[in-house]
Amino acid sequence: MHNLITLDDFILQRPQDFPYDVKELSAILEGIAVASKSVSEDIRKAGLVDHVLGAQGNTNIQGESQQKLDVLADEAFINAFSSSGVICGIASEENDNFVAFNSERAAFGSYVVLFDPLDGSSNIDVNVSIGTIFSVYRRVSPLGSPVTLDDMLQPGTEQVMAGYVLYGSSTMLVYSSGNGVNGFTLKPSTGEFCLSHANMRMPENGRLYAMNEGNIQECEQGLVRYIQYCQSRENQTGMPYSGRYIGSLVADFHRNLIKGGIYIYPSVPASPEGRLRLLYECNPLAFIAEQAGGLATTGRQRILDIVPAQLHQRVPYYVGSKLMVEKAMSFLG
Ligand code: AFP
């Protein structure tokens, strides 16, 4: 195994990748690395211990049954972020309101983090890949003052860093701080995230589409016609595309980032605004997609341009290879 570059070394070797103090970026990513290693260990032993699998017995603001691991992951990331010294507050899928860290040190933190601690948690009990998604902003409120909702409700174009952790056949951290996308694989023997996917680029086109086609009869006609196009010989490959839907956004997104493809979660009657949350699912992956040469829209509007109105607002989501997203949009009219 050739000499590996650790996440810490990578960050410190490229201070130009981050528009602010690189030590602050390092502190944020250290928090993510510590928490994700803890979550990864919990996931890997989930079937063997009682307190990890199954439902927590309550529901979150989304009205979804919280899994025990959702709560464990949320706590792990909140603990890591609150002790980073540079983060003044967070918002997460598992908390109704944002959380302001109340230590004197945190009050002078310049960053807020919005995250989904465990996306795809309905897959935990069936051993399918799941992920953590995170989005980082500079606060807009003055240093030392209380964190405000405005610190959280910033458009995706204001993100200073975003990424995800994929708990798959290996545990990977993929992030961008605005100068390209890089992937790091957790080395079990040392517990270090090491550079494994430098300068990730999303193929401009592809032949994989990811969508819950159980909804297709309830979707707008333009999307029905686009899926028929994918399944026909009219597309650029002259062959029907392959449908690949894992039911775990991070896993579907990561596969499309490497192989090319499109992920679609449209507006459906059961979820008129779509199912995915703008702030801590769609924005961070849209940031990664665009940094890697891909595209992310609602089907009609660039995701990163949306000015958020609520913490947990949902949006329709078309994300992936640039030409595939553009083709889908052309069918939507
Ligand atoms: P869970 O976190 O509740 O499993 O939802 C996962 C998710 O947000 C996303 O990761 C999947 O792509 C999508 O929902 C699956 O939704 P459907 O079950 O409606 O297809």
The single residue listed with the structure tokens 């891909």 is: 294
Domain boundary among 168, 197, 226: 197
Ligand 1 atom showing the smallest separation from residue 62 Cα? 3
**221 and 134 in a common domain:** no
Asked if the structure places residue 291 within a domain, the reply is yes
**Burial of 261 (C-beta count, 10 Å sphere; 0-12/13-18/19+):** buried
**269 and 183 in a common domain:** no
**101 and 180 in a common domain:** yes
Please report the pLDDT score of residue 124 as a whole number. Answer: 85
Within 10 angstroms of residue 10's Cβ, the number of other Cβ atoms is 18
CATH number, residue 263: 3.40.190.80
**85 and 19 in a common domain:** yes
Asked if the structure places residue 115 within a domain, the reply is yes
Which runs of consecutive H residues, i.e. helices, occur in the chain? 7-13, 22-44, 68-82, 104-107, 149-152, 221-230, 249-259, 283-291, 322-332
Within 10 angstroms of residue 322's Cβ, the number of other Cβ atoms is 21
The CB of 119 under 6 Å from ligand 1? The reply is yes
Ligand 1 atom showing the smallest separation from residue 214 Cα? 20
**Burial of 276 (C-beta count, 10 Å sphere; 0-12/13-18/19+):** buried
Structural domain tally of the chain?
2
The CB of 122 under 6 Å from ligand 1? The reply is yes
**161 and 214 in a common domain:** no
Ligand 1 atom showing the smallest separation from residue 118 Cα? 2
Please tell me the residue having the least CA distance from ligand 1 atom 18: 247
The CB of 240 under 6 Å from ligand 1? The reply is no
CATH number, residue 132: 3.30.540.10
**230 and 160 in a common domain:** no
**Burial of 131 (C-beta count, 10 Å sphere; 0-12/13-18/19+):** buried
The single residue listed with the structure tokens 């250290």 is: 30
Asked if the structure places residue 264 within a domain, the reply is yes
Domain housing 110: 7-197
Asked if the structure places residue 203 within a domain, the reply is no
pLDDT digits (tens, 9 = 90+) for 12-68: 999 999 999 999 999 999 999 999 999 999 998 887 776 666 666 665 666 666 668
- Please identify every stretch of the chain with a pLDDT value under 50, giving residue numbers as ranges: none
Asked if the structure places residue 252 within a domain, the reply is yes
- Ligand 1 geometric centre to CA of 297 (Å): 18
Please report the pLDDT score of residue 46 as a whole number. Answer: 81
Asked if the structure places residue 202 within a domain, the reply is no
pLDDT digits (tens, 9 = 90+) for 265-281: 999 999 999 999 999 99
Please report the pLDDT score of residue 47 as a whole number. Answer: 77
Phi then psi dihedrals of residue 252, to 5 deg = -65, -45
Please tell me the residue having the least CA distance from ligand 1 atom 20: 212
Asked if the structure places residue 31 within a domain, the reply is yes
